[in-house]
Structure 1
Amino acid sequence: MKRIQQMLLEMARGNFFYSLDPGAKNDNMASLIVMLNMVNEEIRASFVHQGFATAQDSPRYLIQMSLLLDANGTIEMANNKSCSLLSQLPKDLIGQNVSEIMTANTQKSWHNKLPKLLKKDFTDTIMPLEFITPEGLIISKDFHVSTFRSLDGNDQKILMDTVLFSKGEPIGKGLWKHALKISKGAKSPKVRLSQKDIRMIREVHDMILNNLDRDLPKLKDLALQMGTNEFKLKYGFKQLYGTTIFKFLTQERLRKAKTLTLHTSLSLKTIAHMTGFKSIPHFSRAFKEKYGRPPSSLRK
Structure 2
Amino acid sequence: MLLEMAQGNFFYSLEPSGKNDNVASLVVMLNMVNEEIRASFIHQGFANAHTTPQYVIQMSLLMDSQGNIEMINNKVCSLLSRLPKDIIGHPLTELLTESSQRKWIKKLPSLLKKEHSETVLNLEFNTPEGLLIKKDCTISIFQALDGTGRKILLDTVFFSKGEPFGKGLWKNPLKVSKGVGNPKVRLSQEDIQMIRKVHDMIIHNVKNDLPKLKDLALQIGTNEFKLKYGFKQLYGTTIFKFLIQERLRKAKTLIQYTSLSIKTIAHMAGFKSVPHFSRAFKEKYGRSPSDLRG
Q: TM-score range by the shorter chain?
A: 0.3 to 0.5
Larger of the two Rg values belongs to structure? 1
TM-score (norm 1): 0.45
- Per the normalisation by structure 2, the TM-score is 0.46
